[in-house]
Each structure stands twice: as structure tokens, then as C-alpha cells.
Structure 1
Amino acid sequence: MSLVLVEAQGALGAAVVARLVSQGDEVRVVTDDADGGAKWRSLGARVARGSSVDDDLIERAAQNARSIVVFDRAGNGSGEVAKAVLEGARRAHVGRVLVVCRAASGEVFDAVTSSLLDHVVLITGGDGGARRLLRRNAGASDDLVAEAVDAADDLAGEPRLVIDMTKPEGLAALRL
């Protein structure tokens, strides 16, 4: 299946792209960074160049996609990104939005969880307890988050879930 990644960055973004591509998914990354575009292509993703607040671009990138994944690890993702993702998803008939964030707060979290779209929010925590738990369970937190994104995309039904990956029951919900 196809997934669109918005605001993907760094090692976590690379881990998610690598995981999804290795599972046979088509991955599209929305980025306005020319250098980042080359990085994502080298990992096997397609690149949609432009702003993550451009709902028309997100709509085009999301054609025939099953899910859009929004990264808000800093917890300061803008409401404009959330608005563009939700509008692009609606117009492209994307059924599910996944959010990767550190805490159950912020404009992206609020917009997605209050929308009518199916969603899975993965709360990864900060550099404290979550990082220790993730390391203990998978060796590298980015790899476990990538595995969780893959599992959340594959969930059956019409989920509207908030999963706290800092707790064992959160990981169990995704069978990780």
C-alpha cells in the first residue's frame, strides 16, 4: 500500500521510510528540502517537493494512498500543517492519518484526534522513560517507532486510537 510522510526528518524519518519500503509499501515524502529529497529517494521513497502546509500538494501526493503519517516530534507542529494534512486527506479520500509525537498535546494532536478521520497517534515520549523503554525492547527507538508506524498502518477496521509507547500496554496494543 501507499503512505505519505509529512514533516519526516532525520534518523526517525529514515527508519520509517526504510521499514515501510522493506515491507513492500510505496512511500511518498512531502519535503521542501532539496537535499532531503535526494536522501528520501536513495531510501526508495518518492518525493513530492513543496511545503507541508500546501493542502493541494498533500492531496496530489496522497492519491491512492491508504495513510498519511505526520511527524510532530518536537511538539510544536503548526495548526497549518494539521489543516493541510486533514484537507488533503479528505480530498484524496485517504482513510487514515497517523501521528508520531512525543506527547498527547499540540495543534497537530488536537486537530487529528478531533477530526472524523480514522487515526492512530503514537506517543513516543521524550528523552526520558520512553527512550529507555524503547531501547530495552528494540535496541533503537527509531526502529521501534518505525515498526509501530508499519503496524498502525496495517490495523484492521476503523481505528481512532492514541497509543502511549512509553507504556508496555501501548506496545502490546500494536502487538510489538
Structure 2
Amino acid sequence: MADRCAAYYDAGVRFAKWRCLLRIDAAAGQPSALAVADNAVGLARYAATAQAAGLVPIIEPEIAIDGRHDAAAAAAVAEEVLSVVYRTLQVYGVLLEGTLLKPQMVLPGMDHPAFAGGDVVDVAALTLRTLRRTVPPAVPGVMFLSGGQSEARATAATAKATP
């Protein structure tokens, strides 16, 4: 990966993204602590390698939105995932000021009744609470995934989440 990052830098690239995907399924015990930790290590190794090559790593710890989980379960998983990711980034010596985060908003699963009809104010409030609890102030930017929402709904939730 180091060679690829160096080649991309030489070609003019300045940002790189790595995505990991975790699923919520409480009955199956997902995501497991091992899956969360393993994904965090993968993101941290990538971020350290990208930074060493002069690239800004975009870190995308995505939590799949399929499923029947409610927004509270999504918030709890997102908090755990982001907490573990940021602790692991620090262990790997990643300069947080030189990273960007690309999470999805905190939403219930697509098969949950509140997915389509939930209030964007609730989405914004849970998302902001999750980010405030987990993302270190040194991180300079957060760019959201739409999370399966329509463009209009994602924009409305983002507008409500803007301080």
C-alpha cells in the first residue's frame, strides 16, 4: 500500500479514502467487538500509510443501514465504533489534524418503521451527540454519507445538525 500511496501522490492525488463496513444485528451479536477492533486497525494502518506518503486519509467507518434496529441502537454502535477507531488511530500515530471523517448520520435501520418517516431533527440530534462524544476536536472535518436517505432528507438533517 505504501508504494501505491507514493505513486498516487506523485500523480497529483492528495486525498485517499478507506472504507470499512459493519452491520448491526443484535440477535447475531453484530458487530462483534472483534469486528470493530479489526476494522479500526485496518483504518489506522491505512491512515498512517497514507499520511506517510503525504496524502490526507479520509476515514470511513460505515455502519450498514440495512436491518430493523432503532436509532438508539444505531447511536450506541456508532459511538462504540468511532471511539475504538479514534483510540486506534492514536495508537498508530496518525496525526488527527491531517485526517477527515466520513460517517453516515445516525439512523434506524431501513427495515425499521421510523427509517422513512423519522424526524430529521431527531436524526440531527443523535448524530451531533454521537460525534461530540467520540470525535476528537483535532479532526478538522466531517463529510456525511447520505445513509440511504433521499437527497432532500439528508440535506434537511445536515442543515438541522449545523451549529
TM-score range, shorter chain: 0.3 to 0.5
- TM-score, structure 2 normalization: 0.42
Higher relative contact order (CA 8 A, sep 6+): 2
Relative to total residues, which structure has the larger helix share, 1 or 2? 2
Relative to total residues, which structure has the larger strand share, 1 or 2? 1
Which of 1 and 2 has greater Rg?
A: 2
- TM-score, structure 1 normalization: 0.40
